[in-house]
Structure 1
Amino acid sequence: MFYLIYSGFLAIVAYLLSALFPDVTILAGKFWFVFAFLAGITFIAYVVADLGIKRNPETGIMAIMGSIALKMIFSMAFVLIYSLNTKEKGMVFVLNFFSLYLLFSFFEIYCLLRNLRHQNK
Structure 2
Amino acid sequence: MLPSIGFTALLAIVFFIAEQYGAAVWLHPHWKYMLIFFLCISFLLHRLMDIGFQNNREKFVEFYMASIVARLVLCIIFVGVFLWQGVGAKKLFVLDFLALYIFYTAFEIYILNRNLRRDL
Would you call these one fold, judging by a TM-score over 0.5? Answer: yes
Q: Secondary structure at the match of 1:17?
A: helix
Aligned to 2:19: 18
Aligned to 1:50: 50
Provide the aligned length of Structure 1 versus Structure 2.
119
Q: TM-score, normalised by structure 2?
A: 0.88
**Alpha-carbon distance in structure 2 between the residues aligned to 1:52 and 1:44:** 13
Unaligned ranges ≥5, structure 2: none
Equivalence map 1:103-118=2 (5 Å): 103-118=103-118
**Alpha-carbon distance in structure 1 between the residues aligned to 2:95 and 2:15:** 12
1:51 is displaced (CA, Å) by: 2.4
CA pair 16-77 structure 1, distance change in 2 beyond 3 A: same
CA deviations over 1:55-102 (Å, ceiling 9, x no partner): 322221221111111011011011111101024111210121011111
Unaligned ranges ≥5, structure 1: none
Q: Percent of pairs identical after alignment?
A: 27
Q: 8 Å contact 2:28–2:96 — kept in the other structure?
A: yes
1:35 is displaced (CA, Å) by: 1.4
Equivalence map 1:1-121=2 (5 Å): 1-21=2-22, 24-120=24-120
**Alpha-carbon distance in structure 2 between the residues aligned to 1:47 and 1:107:** 16
1:29 is displaced (CA, Å) by: 2.3
**Alpha-carbon distance in structure 1 between the residues aligned to 2:56 and 2:116:** 11
1:26 is displaced (CA, Å) by: 2.0
Amino acid at match of 1:31: W
Q: 8 Å contact 1:27–1:96 — kept in the other structure?
A: yes
Q: TM-score, normalised by structure 1?
A: 0.88
